[in-house]
Structure 1
Amino acid sequence: MITTIATVAAGLLGAALIWLGTNAFIAPRAAAAFGIPAPVDHPDFLRWMQPKGVREIVPGIFIFVAMVTASPAVLGWYLLTFALIPAGDAAIVLRSGGPKHVAYGVHAATAAVMLAVGLVLLLA
């Protein structure tokens, strides 16, 4: 039962990543609110939203591939490893003088959820 709940949580994480990444292409100004204090109307900044979008979409897809093809433990290891990305994002937001509520409430919280789900999948 706990493995099923953790797998569903992993799927929700994957869907959220794909949605966030897609937003970087559809509405880059809105998606730019990930915590970096920068002029979001600057064309160079908006161009950086495309690689950010890809960086979100591909891991989201990989979660679904792992859910279908791998064991829960492999999915757990992936989530544990992948949690480094939002943890790094939190550090980048803090180092760049971005809002702490975004660094902790969005990025660090995402990393914590990924760690928790990954650990459950590993230990179940």
Structure 2
Amino acid sequence: MIIFVGLRFFFQPQAAATGYGVPAKENGDSAYLTIKGLRDLVSGLIGLALLAFSDADAAAWFMVVVALTPLGDTVIVLRNGGTKAVAFGIHAATAAVVLISAALLFAA
């Protein structure tokens, strides 16, 4: 999923930023939107590589660490005028799903 979010930041940056919870300025934010897209794309690809070529514990530890990203995104949205619904409904919920997935991988 995060791979598609990253790609959206490349092809529809303004819409992706709005979906993130902090709409971008019409000018001046293009580099940051590209950075966000690249970060998400690479994170997703690393996760896929670990799932495909590593053991479940390595993938689980990756997911535990990666959960820091949506937790940080929650704070970023709240500090920059985004709604609590987006901050918690998208970003904090994503962190919870990632951590649950990590727990399932540890149990595998």
TM-score after normalising by structure 2: 0.93
Other-structure match for 1:20: 5
RMSD: 1.2
- Matched residues in 2 for 1:96 and 1:41: separation? 13
Identity of aligned residues (%): 36
**Following TM superposition, by how much is the alpha carbon of 1:45 offset from its aligned partner in structure 2, in angstroms?**
1.9
Matched, 1:107 2:91: yes
Residue pairs, 1:37-116, within 5 angstroms = 38=23, 40-116=24-100
Structure 2's unaligned 5+ residue stretches are none
The separation in 2 between residues aligned to 1:84 and 1:41, in whole angstroms, is: 26
* Aligned equivalent of 1:35: 21
| Equivalenced residues, count | 107
Higher relative contact order (CA 8 A, sep 6+): 1
**Superposition deviation, residue 41 in structure 1:** 4.4
TM-score (norm 1): 0.81
CA-to-partner distance for each residue in 1:26-81, whole Å, 9 max, x for gaps?
11111011112x5x342212331100000100010011100111101110110011
**Structure 1: segments with no counterpart, 5+ residues:** 1-15
